Amino acid sequence: MDGFVSLLVDILSVPAVLVAIIAFVGLLIQKKSASEITKGTTKTFLGFIVLSAGAAVVSGSLKPFGEMFQEAFGVQGVVPNNEAIISIAIEEFGTTAALIMFFGMIANILLARFSNLKYIFLTGHHTFYMACFLAIVLSVANFSGMVLIIVGSIALGIIMAIFPAMAQPTMRRITGNDNVGFGHFGTVGYVASAGIGKLFKGSRSTEDINFPKGLSFLRDSSVSISLTMTIIYILAALFAGQTFIENNISGGTNYIVFSIIQGVTFAAGVFIILSGVRLILAEIIPAFKGISEKLVPNSKPALDCPIVFPFAPNAVLIGFFSSFIAGVLGMFALFFTGGVVILPGVVPHFFLGATSGVFGNATGGVKGAIAGSFVNGLIITFLPVLFLPLLGDLGNASTTFSDTDFLVVGIVLGNVGKFLGQPGVIATIILVLIASIAIKSKLGKKSHSENDLEKIS
């Protein structure tokens, strides 16, 4: 009997098995056929193994980069990228993350069912990243075991409902209706951008100007990561010097050739990780969506960034450029402080910058789009600096979380955990929930009010 129990514990502590079981349960609830259940469960299992394989590729590419950057500039260089940091963290936190994701989704449905926060968060990869992120942050705050999973799941459920609620006033302006929510964890930047936009009321819309198209190839993230990482790598290599690299790092390979290969290797790693993530989500998200539609018929689905792009295609490009320029300027500013330097990652600046552009345009036209996404670019450059010390051992990884909501949640919970311990963290989570339900009902009474939920973030 004891042997059986320990076997069961062994099986359940393998994250790949755990996500496969979650998918299996989802397929079972949907009454799928035996062949579909077999296929779906296997693919989910496979997805997790693929994800872990990608982690090895990304870490292998980041290690020499960290050494080169340190040699070149004497400071730690960090490229924010969610996929990279998740894949590195998954080895230690995979099981906890899978459990938090599963129960967090249930918490999200219950919250939508029994409170006025009617948002179902359907951007699955962000749900998964946030689950992993909470596992890390709460572990650093000394939570463990069952308590960690319970607190993490409740926090995740709340986060999945609150951030879309914050974005909704501007979403109504963008889409012209109240049927769809916005679910992407860069919300703090988007809400800030919409707020900045209000300063420029009356500026004409980005869509009334002629803006060159033709940069849409940057939407292809594998291409844009390859290009930017290669450039960043070559710059670090030039400053670190040929002799240092060829003697200590590249094993004699020419330093520029080595840099190009490593830059593209990083992109290859992210590519592999994303394939894994796609496989993991393929069965879990439709089940989550189906169950939420049954249980909460009047809910709003909160969806990924690109749903707002077609509403303002010019704002997308303007926002990306403006945010990226802010990121470059912020990087130079960080060089002078002599601490950690956050390098502008093209993926966060694209998705968060573009979305900030759309949100800023909705409230303040061209000027709002430019100013709002510029502020977003500064936020995603400086927040990681505040957050890195709270990441525990993962703070030395040359990569970190890139999106505002992770960083804000991390900075708040991390600091509360540091000064007030576990009771403080739990109290904060409960207070935020109560406050947001109260604010939402107040807003509901004056539904056309221009207020938003900024106060709670």
Q: Does 300 bind other proteins (CB under 8 A)?
A: no
When asked if residue 119 is in the footprint of other proteins (CB under 8 A), the reply is no
Q: How far apart (Å, rounded) are the C-alpha atoms in residues 273 and 20?
A: 17
Using CB under 8 A as the binding rule, whether residue 309 contacts other proteins is answered as: yes
Is 125 an interacting residue with respect to other proteins (CB under 8 A)? Answer: yes
Among positions 61, 95, 123, 228, the unique one binding other proteins when judged by CB under 8 A: 123
Residue placing its CB nearer to other proteins in the complex, 139 or 175: 175
Q: Are strands 77-80 and 399-400 parallel, antiparallel or unpaired?
A: parallel
According to CB under 8 A, which residues from 217 to 236 bind other proteins? 217, 219-223
Q: Compute the CA torsion angle 293, 294, 298, 303 (nearest 10 deg).
A: -10
Q: Rounded to whole angstroms, how far apart are CA atoms 299 and 297?
A: 6
Q: What SS3 class is residue 400?
A: strand
Q: Which of 241, 286, 389, 395 binds other proteins (CB under 8 A)?
A: 286
Cβ of residue 221: shortest distance to other proteins, in angstroms?
A: 5
With CB under 8 A, what is the number of residues at the site for other proteins?
Answer: 32
Structure tokens at 456: 């709670």
Across the beta sheet with 341-342, the strand order is: 341-342, 77-80, 399-400
- From the list 209, 223, 224, 165, the residue with the least C-alpha distance to 350 is 224
Site for other proteins contains 174 (CB under 8 A): no
With respect to other proteins, which residue has the nearer C-beta, 250 or 355? Answer: 355
CA atoms of 82 and 133, how far apart (whole Å): 10
* Beta bridge pairs of residue 318: none
Radius of gyration of the chain (CA): 22
Q: Which is nearer to other proteins, 303 or 341 (CB)?
A: 303
178 binds other proteins (CB under 8 A): no
* Shortest Å distance, C-beta 286 to other proteins: 6
Contact 212, 378 (CB under 8 A): no
Instruction: Considering only the stretches 2-10, 45-53, 93-101, 297-305, report the one whose residues sit in contact with other proteins under the rule CB under 8 A.
Output: 297-305
276 membership: H or E segment, kind and range: helix 255-295
Query: What would the DSSP string read from start to end of 34-57?
Result: HHHHHHHHHHHHHHHHHHHHHHHH
Report the candidate in 399, 59, 348, 329 with the shortest Cα–Cα distance to residue 218. 348
Tell me, what DSSP letter sits at residue 390?
G
- CB closer to other proteins, 250 vs 323: 323
Choices 108-116, 122-130, 166-174, 436-444; region in contact with other proteins by CB under 8 A: 122-130
**Residue range at the interface with other proteins (CB under 8 A); choices 25-33, 188-196, 213-221, 444-452:** 213-221
Asked whether position 266 contacts other proteins by CB under 8 A, the answer is: no
Residue with smaller CB distance to other proteins, 12 or 274:
274
**Nearer residue to other proteins within complex by CB, 174 or 439:** 174
Which one of 18, 134, 151, 305 is in contact with other proteins (CB under 8 A)?
305
Residue ranges in 353-392 that form contacts with other proteins under rule CB under 8 A: none
144 binds other proteins (CB under 8 A): no
* Coil/strand/helix, residue 320: helix
Burial of 213 (0-12, 13-18, 19+ CB in 10 A): exposed
Structure tokens at 116: 């006025």
Q: Work out whether 57 is an interface residue with other proteins (CB under 8 A).
A: no
Least separation in angstroms between CB 121 and other proteins = 11
* Interaction of residue 419 with other proteins, rule CB under 8 A: no
Task: Give the phi and the psi of residue 173 in degrees, each rounded to 5.
Answer: -65, -40
Least CB distance to other proteins at residue 321 (A)? 16
Structure tokens at 174: 């963008």
What are the residues binding other proteins (CB under 8 A)? 122-125, 175, 180, 184, 213, 216-217, 219-223, 271, 274, 277-278, 281, 285-286, 289, 303-307, 309-310, 313, 316
